[in-house]
Structure 1
Amino acid sequence: MAETLEIVALGDSLTAGYGLPDGQGFVPQLQAWLDDNGVDATVVNAGVSGDTTAGGLARLNWALSDGTDAMIVALGGNDLLRGLPPEASRANLDAILSTVVGERALPVLLIGLEAPGNYGPDFKADFDAMYPELAREYGTLHETSFLGPLVAEVDMATARKRYVQPDGVHPNAEGVRLIVEAFGPRVAELVARVATN
């Protein structure tokens, strides 16, 4: 029987499951989706609330183990909240992917975010572009926005009421369910890439 694969989810509070009861965060709901869909993989929660791309890079070697088979990288939200320069965020993500893809030869799903307009059009353009450009450069799987599934069928105001916690930032359990439904097939694709790597 094939060995269960290990996927490390490197991220921030969105990955960690901030504000949610046990079992309702992104990683446990994703694990349940994989189990229900017959995908033989274990997801390790390496999400740390408040982490920036720099923080993710700093603990990358701690997050990766010899048994890691693939990685989900979902960082950048706290860089956005702090208005950090997109070129700094990009350099950190580049360094993460250089290690994971370049040195370890592990498949990656890179999950981006979309910048709001309040930092100006140049900031938004640079921030939004870094995820698809890095995904192409490193040949990773890519999803445009962690929070994108929340507004796939309703407007932002409705999504905030239905799917976001009172802090206005983090998805509630139902919001996480939508995110996992959208990204589950991509994670299954990520697992399939391990076999061909």
Structure 2
Amino acid sequence: MKKLSSYGILLLLLCTACGNPGSVPSRAPENSATPKTVQPSSPVKYIVFFGNSLTAGYGLDLSEAYPALIQAKIDSLHLPYKVVNAGLSGETSAGGNSRVDWILKQPVQVFVLELGGNDGLRGIPLEETEKNLQQILNKVKEKYPNVKLMLAGMRVPPNMGKQYSEKFHTLFITLAKKNNIAFLPFLLEGVGGEPQLNQSDGIHPTAEGQKIVAENVWTVLKDLLDDKNS
């Protein structure tokens, strides 16, 4: 990926600014959007985007975050899906593992997991990150056996150590294969390290950057959606 080292340094500097992972709100984030066009005969299905500040749309209006852009795409295709933006800035895999039970109180047909980036920035042992992400997936599958799952991969800068950064990315690949779920190798493909597509902090995508992220997600997510009543 281009300019990863300089991007990584900025990531590390801003790590604590993304939020305190120990500060978990007492309620889940609000839904990112309400579907505009759903056929009355088609029951609404829910897509939950469960992630950190990248999903929450840090520094932007909620309508500019990629989950809301996905909702707009879904509406344009008249598909009976409602997007729920369950992103929380500063979230780690451990925080997500604690929070996911609350989120699963609502119906979920498609669950997109975007967590782990903050773990990598903090140098959390890879075994812990993998364990937490697996537990999140297990909880979702246990509560909703017919759910469709998608995992978004992430990378960390090489200044965390080449071996760590390589194994970090590999753990997402391993999880996707182990669980036989849809997989996006790198959420920020085409955005990470590109100054014009990131806010002044150098880490969070601008509105234009979020559009590219939405396209990245859509290339994988679209195959999990249908317009059937089942």
- Relative to the length of structure 2, the TM-score reads 0.76
Larger Rg: 2
Matches within 5 A, 1:40-55: 40-55=80-95
> 4+ residue runs of structure 1 moved beyond 3 angstroms?
192-196
Once residues 194 and 128 of structure 1 are traced to their aligned partners in structure 2, the CA distance between those partners, rounded to angstroms, is 35
Q: Is the 8 A contact 1:114 1:144 kept in 2?
A: no
Provide Cα deviations, 1:49-74, integer angstroms capped at 9, x if missing partner.
Answer: 00001111101110113421110100
Q: Which runs of 5+ in 2 are unaligned?
A: 1-40
Once residues 184 and 117 of structure 1 are traced to their aligned partners in structure 2, the CA distance between those partners, rounded to angstroms, is 28
Q: Which has the higher helix share?
A: 1
Superposition deviation, residue 28 in structure 1: 1.3
Q: Does 2:230 correspond to 1:190?
A: no
Once residues 12 and 179 of structure 1 are traced to their aligned partners in structure 2, the CA distance between those partners, rounded to angstroms, is 14
SS at match of 2:187: coil
Name the structure 2 match of 1:14: 54
Name the structure 2 match of 1:120: 161
Provide Cα deviations, 1:110-164, integer angstroms capped at 9, x if missing partner.
Answer: 001012111112211221111111111111100011111326xxxx4xx22x210
SS at match of 2:63: coil
Once residues 144 and 65 of structure 1 are traced to their aligned partners in structure 2, the CA distance between those partners, rounded to angstroms, is 29
In structure 2, do the counterparts of structure 1 residues 129 and 22 end up closer, same or farther at CA, with 3 Å as the change threshold? Answer: closer
Name the structure 1 match of 2:105: 65
Q: Read off the aligned partner of 2:98 and give its amino acid letter.
A: A
Q: Is the 8 A contact 1:8 1:45 kept in 2?
A: yes
SS at match of 1:33: helix
In structure 2, do the counterparts of structure 1 residues 193 and 128 end up closer, same or farther at CA, with 3 Å as the change threshold? Answer: farther
In structure 2, do the counterparts of structure 1 residues 194 and 125 end up closer, same or farther at CA, with 3 Å as the change threshold? Answer: farther
Q: Does 2:138 correspond to 1:98?
A: yes
Q: Is the 8 A contact 1:8 1:70 kept in 2?
A: yes
Provide Cα deviations, 1:19-60, integer angstroms capped at 9, x if missing partner.
Answer: 002411122112112212333211101111000011111011
Superposition deviation, residue 81 in structure 1: 1.9
Once residues 110 and 81 of structure 1 are traced to their aligned partners in structure 2, the CA distance between those partners, rounded to angstroms, is 19
Q: Is the 8 A contact 1:163 1:172 kept in 2?
A: yes
Name the structure 1 match of 2:152: 111
Q: Is the 8 A contact 1:110 1:135 kept in 2?
A: yes
Once residues 112 and 165 of structure 2 are traced to their aligned partners in structure 1, the CA distance between those partners, rounded to angstroms, is 23
In structure 2, do the counterparts of structure 1 residues 194 and 114 end up closer, same or farther at CA, with 3 Å as the change threshold? Answer: farther
Q: Read off the aligned partner of 2:179 and give its amino acid letter.
A: Y
Aligned residues: 189
Once residues 202 and 227 of structure 2 are traced to their aligned partners in structure 1, the CA distance between those partners, rounded to angstroms, is 35
Once residues 190 and 79 of structure 2 are traced to their aligned partners in structure 1, the CA distance between those partners, rounded to angstroms, is 22
Name the structure 1 match of 2:15: none
Once residues 103 and 44 of structure 1 are traced to their aligned partners in structure 2, the CA distance between those partners, rounded to angstroms, is 17
